Amino acid sequence: MTVQAQRPAEQIPGKPTSASRTTLSHIMTGSDTNLLGTVHGGVIMKLVDDAAGAVAGRHSGGPAVTASMDEMVFLEPVRVGDLVHVKAQVNWTGRSSMEVGVRVMAERWNESTPAQQVGSAYLVFAAVDADGKPRRVPPVVPETERDRRRYQEAQIRRTHRLARRQAIKELRERRAAEGMQD
């Protein structure tokens, strides 16, 4: 049993949003393309997961694993030669879980035009100990009005995730009780 599991009532000091915020940048090359000649969505998703994982590990002070990805939105295609910036921060924390918000920006590598948003995502990470068991995370302390808005929106997304899981569980139980096989 871990030390944290032995003392569940112990309060962990909070960490400000800025303590773990990070940006991962990468130039897209020909090996990143799909059949349409634009950057494959899976390449962008990996960058999103990498940046979010770094943020979750920084915030929790140790290993964290991806539990789910919500609302991965692709707004614009990314092209070969784009410099992609993946910006991530912890929006909300629970006992052992964290929601990380990610914004994907892209700009041409050889132009001085501003980067534009090309995607966004929300991921949930679970902090784990050396045995892969959940461990407590510090509360996130929103610092700005934008951080407070993101915290509130993350709580809404969490409520929806839990309600969706419960509704699906109840539907499956009802179908099983009625003898319906999938």
Q: Are strands 22-27 and 82-93 parallel, antiparallel or unpaired?
A: antiparallel
Q: Is the pLDDT of residue 34 over 70?
A: yes
The predicted model gives 58-83 an average pLDDT of 96
Q: Which H helix or E strand runs over 179?
A: none
Do residues 52 and 87 lie in contact, with contact meaning Cβ atoms separated by under 8 Å? no
Task: Considering only CA atoms, give the Rg of the chain.
Answer: 19
Query: How much is the pLDDT for 182?
Result: 63
Residue 7: is its pLDDT beyond 60? no
Q: Is it the case that residue 15 has pLDDT exceeding 60?
A: yes
| pTM, entire model | 0.88
pLDDT band of residue 8 (cuts 50, 70, 90) is low
Does the pLDDT value for residue 174 go beyond 70?
yes
CB atoms closer than 10 angstroms to residue 167: 10
